[in-house]
A and B are shown apart, each in its own frame.
Chain A
Amino acid sequence: MTAWVIARNTFGEAIRKKILNVFLILALGSVLISLTFTFLEFRQQVVILKSFGLGMVQFWGLFIAIIMGISLIPADIEQRTIYTILSKPVKRYEYVLGRFLGGAITLAVNVALMGAAFLLVFLLKVNTRALESLASLDFGPFWTSWVWSGEVPGLIGGIAMVYMKLLLLLAVAVCFSTFATVTVNFFLSSAVFIAGSISSVTEAMSKSPNTPIVLRWLYAAVHYVVPNFGNYDVQNPIIHPEVPAADLSLYMWKAVFYGLAYTIILLVVGVLVFERKEV
């Protein structure tokens, strides 16, 4: 209950933050830009639009997740708002959880808005004939020519995977924010994200006989400890649904559980550190 009160307040605070709103506007603008790729063949335009749209949701979402995650707790400590909160009947774990949940809700709303804009642009693109009917003010053929693309559920799945990736990054940043300064945390969280995004590379390096043994251990440690952000890169089967692939939905569910498990571990570590933190 207390964590939820803090989460609600965190969300209210975040949606009024100018920097996050700027990222959201840039993201929406970027998605709209993809409508201008008319110089390509129609099929290519749709492929590029899907790839570009999902990429933009992720790109701007990364900024929102990391900027928000690194500052949620330190901002309260720096501005001394935390004194009046922790001196109230609020347990420290409730505070950390509340701040994280508020961030997660903010992230969800931002990704949902960016995703909705992307899906709208996608549907407008595949409904060229319907749009033409609108342009000629002949509304009759509009609904008959409107196509509800069967690719939409796949794209929503892709957006959900982007959200899971960002949520995991948010958990990393919030965990580090319990002991690192904002600047250090920015580099630390970014490094973890990069290392976790090339997990297949670190795994290969840890098994390569050409790698010195010490480095192999290091790569293995990075591969097993750092969350695998590459798990959520499912764009290819979504962008090219015509190419046969393994059971995508099962894979995505596994990735969701993996992300949630890692998020819980990171939050537990963050709470344990914060319990002894002097504010």
Chain B
Amino acid sequence: MENAIEIRDLTKSFHSVLTGEDVIAVDHLTLDIHRGEIFGFLGPNGAGKTTTIKMLLGLIFPTSGTASILGYPPGDIEVKRKISYLPESPYFYEHLSGYEVLDFYATLFGIPAAERKKKVDELLDLVGLSDNKHKRLRHYSKGMLQRIGLAQALINDPDLLFLDEPTSGLDPIAHLDIRDMILRLRDEGRTVFLSSHQLSDVEMVCDRVSILDRGKLMRVGSLKEMLAGKSVEIRAERVRDDIFEKVKAHSSDAFTVDGAIRVRVEQSFVNETVQMIMQTGGEITAVIPGKRTLEDIFIETVREGTVS
């Protein structure tokens, strides 16, 4: 699969004047982001997420390592025409109105005046700010600023979007709108690099995720695979006591409810357990694959600090 972003051994360290030591913010990060996917970039505060994004955008420079964005080096003027960025808690020129700020950004892309007007009006409509387009940004609420931020990130019809906490500070309706918009972007074939603490959002929209902690890549992979549990719950009735005891020995969790049993066994032991129960006159009432949440995985990864 073709990659939108290729990161190889990317490292960024900052020199601390106070301690006189180098602090490593991003530590030999190697990562590929496929074209057309929504990629979740997760990590606790200070994990190095924003530092990585800033390196990819050419706002800061790596200490070592390389990165390629749509085949170009970071900061290349040609790649800047094809990407966009919504920073966390974005600030814009407050003296401008919503319309003027989008017009300003559109002008930076060299979009002709007539096309610019159409485009700006469309985007204001898309983010639900048409009624407030002549209001100065200093009078916008946080949610409105976030919407303008998303609109400016769409001004150039980008192939790749870097979204840093795009749903931060939004009310539930706006939250939902933006989540839908991100899904729509993927449907249009765009790549979205999404950095967020909103794990429920990430779980709903992302194809793949990575977890960064203290600058190191701890985990990366398909969200579906990550969320798939390794254990399965088996529910059965009329299970003989000796069979229950046998199953219990292989189970992480086993108990009885009104004469029925519920056991949680490893995936590899499912067939054997089911056969054993059925051959001894028991009846299987349910086989439920275990499922974990992204929050479970995130906490487990960060707490245990294991690289996988």
B117 at the interface (CB under 8 A from A): no
The chain A residue sitting closest to B152, CB to CB, is A84
Residues from 187 to 206 in A contacting B, C-beta threshold 8 Å: none
Q: Check A5 against B108 for contact (C-beta < 8 Å).
A: yes
Given A5-B104, A276-B61, A278-B61; A88-B109 close (CB under 8 Å): yes
The chain A residue sitting closest to B12, CB to CB, is A278
CA distance A90 to B105 in the complex (A): 10
Q: Check A87 against B85 for contact (C-beta < 8 Å).
A: yes
Q: Check B92 against A84 for contact (C-beta < 8 Å).
A: yes
Q: Check B87 against A80 for contact (C-beta < 8 Å).
A: yes
A225 at the interface (CB under 8 A from B): no
B1 at the interface (CB under 8 A from A): no
Candidates A79, A81, A82, A87; contact of B84 at CB < 8 Å:
A87
Candidates A9, A83, A87; contact of B83 at CB < 8 Å:
A87
Given A12-B96, A79-B91; A91-B77 close (CB under 8 Å): yes
Residues from 243 to 279 in A contacting B, C-beta threshold 8 Å: 276, 278-279
B289 at the interface (CB under 8 A from A): no
CA distance A105 to B128 in the complex (A): 36
Distance (whole angstroms) from the CB of A178 to the closest CB of chain B: 15
A215 at the interface (CB under 8 A from B): no
Candidates A84, A89, A90; contact of B90 at CB < 8 Å:
A84
B255 at the interface (CB under 8 A from A): no
Distance (whole angstroms) from the CB of B122 to the closest CB of chain A: 19
Candidates A12, A79, A90, A278; contact of B60 at CB < 8 Å:
A278
Most buried by B among A81, A88, A90: A88
Candidates B60, B81, B105; contact of A84 at CB < 8 Å:
B105
The chain B residue sitting closest to A15, CB to CB, is B95
Distance (whole angstroms) from the CB of A259 to the closest CB of chain B: 30
The chain B residue sitting closest to A2, CB to CB, is B108
Distance (whole angstroms) from the CB of A73 to the closest CB of chain B: 14
Residues from 52 to 86 in B contacting A, C-beta threshold 8 Å: 54, 57-61, 77-78, 80-81, 83-85
Most buried by B among A13, A79, A87: A87
CA distance A83 to B152 in the complex (A): 12
Distance (whole angstroms) from the CB of A94 to the closest CB of chain B: 9
CA distance A189 to B241 in the complex (A): 88
Residues from 90 to 106 in B contacting A, C-beta threshold 8 Å: 90-93, 95-96, 104-105
B189 at the interface (CB under 8 A from A): no
Given A12-B95, A16-B95, A81-B93; A86-B105 close (CB under 8 Å): no
Q: Check B108 against A83 for contact (C-beta < 8 Å).
A: no
Q: Check B93 against A9 for contact (C-beta < 8 Å).
A: yes
B222 at the interface (CB under 8 A from A): no
Distance (whole angstroms) from the CB of B111 to the closest CB of chain A: 11
The chain A residue sitting closest to B162, CB to CB, is A87
Given A87-B80, A88-B80, A89-B108; A80-B90 close (CB under 8 Å): yes
Q: Chain A interface residue count: which class?
A: 20 to 34
CA distance A16 to B93 in the complex (A): 11
The chain A residue sitting closest to B155, CB to CB, is A88
A85 at the interface (CB under 8 A from B): yes
In the complex, per-residue mask of A56-96: 1 if CB is within 8 Å of any chain B CB, else 0: 00000000000000000000000111111111111100000
Which residues of chain B are near A2, meaning CB under 8 Å? 108, 110
B200 at the interface (CB under 8 A from A): no
Distance (whole angstroms) from the CB of A181 to the closest CB of chain B: 14
Which residues of chain B are near A84, meaning CB under 8 Å? 85, 87, 90, 92, 105, 149, 152
A135 at the interface (CB under 8 A from B): no
Given A1-B110, A2-B108; A87-B59 close (CB under 8 Å): yes
Q: Check A89 against B152 for contact (C-beta < 8 Å).
A: no
The chain A residue sitting closest to B79, CB to CB, is A89
CA distance A279 to B96 in the complex (A): 23
CA distance A87 to B56 in the complex (A): 10
B198 at the interface (CB under 8 A from A): no
Distance (whole angstroms) from the CB of A269 to the closest CB of chain B: 20
Most buried by A among B54, B95, B149: B95
Candidates A16, A83, A276; contact of B87 at CB < 8 Å:
A83
Candidates B58, B78, B91, B96; contact of A86 at CB < 8 Å:
B58
Residues from 204 to 246 in A contacting B, C-beta threshold 8 Å: none
20 additional A-B pairs beyond A2-B108, A5-B107, A79-B91, beta carbons within 8 Å, are A1-B110, A12-B95, A13-B93, A13-B95, A81-B93, A83-B90, A84-B92, A84-B149, A85-B108, A87-B57, A87-B80, A87-B85, A88-B108, A88-B156, A89-B77, A89-B78, A89-B110, A90-B80, A278-B61, A279-B60
17 interchain pairs (CB within 8 A)? A9-B93, A9-B104, A12-B96, A13-B93, A79-B91, A80-B87, A83-B90, A84-B90, A84-B105, A87-B58, A87-B85, A89-B108, A89-B109, A89-B110, A278-B60, A279-B59, A279-B60
